[in-house]
């Protein structure tokens, strides 16, 4: 009898899991990938949409074009998951599984902060990035606040990358000297990973970005364009670019086993959903402390796919060690990189142009490098 593996979610975690299984699993394993849109997005590219460097459609490809032939793609929203009876529900249709991989991701939830959805901007979706592009096109000078609207969120360095790119954008437009840039964060310093702090602080000093630490956003007034911190500190600006807190997907939240923001309780090494046999979670949908980043999802997907095969073939299982890596743009055509795991902190190099070129090249090479799961 065939072994049925159902994967929910067609982002990095789901696509790589499906393709890695297609490469390694015995022939009697059926691999089904379920996704609401049937489209895979290179989400890191949203960072460049507000500056007109790329269009959202250039960051997307059909899932069916990215998976191997033995992977069945079903384009349909998941309406429910019955963990007790091991079935995934699709509006009346039920998919039975022997192994379930949840790669349902997370999404911005600006409604968590009063007023933020109405008056704030961000770049963590195609629609929001395009709206921000329009706002930047109309901006002629004043104050822009960039920062963190709430935790957690995808790609922790992304607002720092954005403010560096924004500085360069304003210079090109000839209005940098008419603009004050403020970076607001709930953290006591510019970033939570200590080895990166001196690099980011140097860039902020170079680009004249004012740091506002301990700013934990509590409310936002779109009419007066005012952000208020939990300690009563107020920031008024002409434009706010605040990454909203992210929540887990609705289909995961309905399981009744998630935390307050809809993230799945996941074993940090096995990636098994806690208390659930043969159910795994990868990528942004987990409650792991690992950054919500594509490289983390990719590495987790390798571990889960290979461990499913190991269980079927009697081989030794792998353990995820928390490995994640990120090339971080810091302006002036330079970038650094942070690569670390549970036991080893990053040792980022001095920002350089080679890493910048590497990150920009990934925008072109992503489709050949990541989804194939080689």
Please, which pLDDT band fits residue 149 given cuts at 50, 70 and 90?
very high
- The rounded distance, in Å, linking the Cα atoms of 336 and 347 is 10
**Mean pLDDT, rounded, for 142-150:** 98
User: What single string gives the DSSP state of each residue in 296-365?
Assistant: HHHHHHHHHHHHHHHHHHTPPPP-----EEEEEE-STT-EEEEEE-SS----PPPPBHHHHHHHHHHHHH
- The rounded distance, in Å, linking the Cα atoms of 202 and 177 is 19
- Percent of the chain residues past pLDDT 90, beyond the cut: 99
How many DSSP H helices and E strands does the chain contain? Answer: 8, 21
Which class would CATH give 3-105+249-313? alpha beta
CA atoms within 13 A on the CB side of 325: 10
The CATH architecture to which 109-245 belongs is: 3-Layer(bba) Sandwich (3.50)
CA quadruple 345, 190, 107, 330: dihedral sign: negative
The two beta strands, 239-243 and 234-236, are unpaired
Cβ atoms of 81 and 63 closer than 8 Å: no
Look at residue 36 and tell me whether its pLDDT is greater than 90: yes
Tokens of 285: 């949908």
Mean pLDDT of the chain: 97
User: Helix 12-24 to helix 294-313 angle, to the nearest 10 degrees?
Assistant: 30
Q: How far is CA 23 from CA 18, 20, 29, 374, in A?
A: 9, 5, 11, 8
Owner of token pair 């192994």: 99
Same topology, domains 3-105+249-313 and 109-245? Answer is yes
> SS3 for 193?
coil
- Torsions phi, psi for 176 (to 5 deg): -65, -35
Given this model, what pLDDT does residue 150 score? 97
CA dihedral 173, 49, 163, 42 (to 10 degrees): -150
Domain range annotation of the chain:
3-105+249-313, 109-245
Cβ atoms of 183 and 214 closer than 8 Å: no
Please, which pLDDT band fits residue 265 given cuts at 50, 70 and 90?
very high
Given this model, what pLDDT does residue 91 score? 85
Tokens of 279: 């159910």
> SS3 for 272?
strand
- The rounded distance, in Å, linking the Cα atoms of 360 and 38 is 26
Taking only the tens place, the pLDDT of each residue in 308-344 is: 999 999 999 999 999 999 999 999 999 999 999 999 9
- The rounded distance, in Å, linking the Cα atoms of 242 and 80 is 32
Taking only the tens place, the pLDDT of each residue in 343-374 is: 999 999 999 999 999 999 998 999 999 999 99
Q: How far is CA 123 from CA 148, 164, 184, in A?
A: 12, 14, 16
Distance from the Cα of residue 161 to its chain's centroid: 14
Owner of token pair 């073939």: 313
Please, which pLDDT band fits residue 1 given cuts at 50, 70 and 90?
confident
Taking only the tens place, the pLDDT of each residue in 79-116 is: 999 999 999 999 889 999 999 999 999 999 999 999 99
- The model's pTM is 0.96
**Mean pLDDT, rounded, for 213-219:** 97
């Amino acid at each position: 009898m065939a072994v049925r593996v159902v994967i929910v979610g067609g982002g990095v975690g789901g696509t790589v899991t499906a393709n890695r299984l297609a490469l390694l699993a015995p022939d009697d394993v059926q691999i089904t990938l379920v996704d609401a849109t049937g489209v895979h997005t290179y989400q890191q590219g949203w960072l460049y949409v507000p500056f007109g460097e790329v269009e959202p459609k250039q960051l997307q490809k059909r899932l069916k074009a990215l998976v191997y032939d033995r992977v069945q793609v079903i384009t349909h929203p998941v309406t429910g998951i019955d963990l007790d009876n091991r079935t995934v529900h699709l509006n009346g249709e039920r998919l039975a599984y022997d192994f379930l991989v949840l790669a349902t991701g997370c999404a911005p939830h600006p409604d968590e902060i009063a007023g933020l959805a109405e008056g704030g901007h961000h770049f963590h979706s195609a629609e929001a990035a395009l709206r921000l592009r329009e706002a930047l096109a109309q901006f002629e000078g004043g104050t822009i606040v960039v920062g963190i609207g709430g935790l957690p969120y995808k790609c922790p360095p992304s607002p720092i990358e954005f403010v560096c790119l924004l500085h360069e954008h304003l210079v090109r437009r000839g209005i940098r000297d008419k603009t004050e840039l403020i970076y607001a964060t709930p953290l006591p310093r510019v970033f939570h990973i200590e080895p990166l702090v001196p690099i980011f602080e140097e860039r902020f000093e170079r680009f004249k970005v004012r740091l506002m630490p301990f700013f934990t956003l509590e409310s936002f007034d779109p009419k007066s364009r005012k952000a208020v911190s939990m300690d009563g500190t107020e920031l008024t600006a002409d434009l706010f670019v605040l990454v909203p807190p992210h929540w887990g997907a609705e289909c995961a939240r309905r399981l009744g086993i998630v935390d307050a923001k809809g993230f799945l309780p996941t074993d940090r090494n096995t990636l098994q959903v806690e208390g659930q046999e043969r159910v795994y979670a990868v990528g942004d949908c987990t409650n792991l402390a690992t950054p919500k980043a594509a490289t983390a999802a990719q590495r987790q997907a390798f571990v889960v796919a290979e461990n499913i095969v190991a269980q079927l073939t009697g081989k030794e299982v792998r353990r995820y060690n928390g490995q994640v890596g990120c090339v971080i743009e810091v302006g002036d055509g330079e970038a650094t990189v942070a690569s670390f795991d549970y036991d080893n902190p990053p040792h980022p190099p001095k920002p350089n142009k080679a890493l910048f070129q590497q990150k920009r090249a990934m925008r072109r090479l992503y489709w050949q490098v990541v989804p194939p799961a080689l």
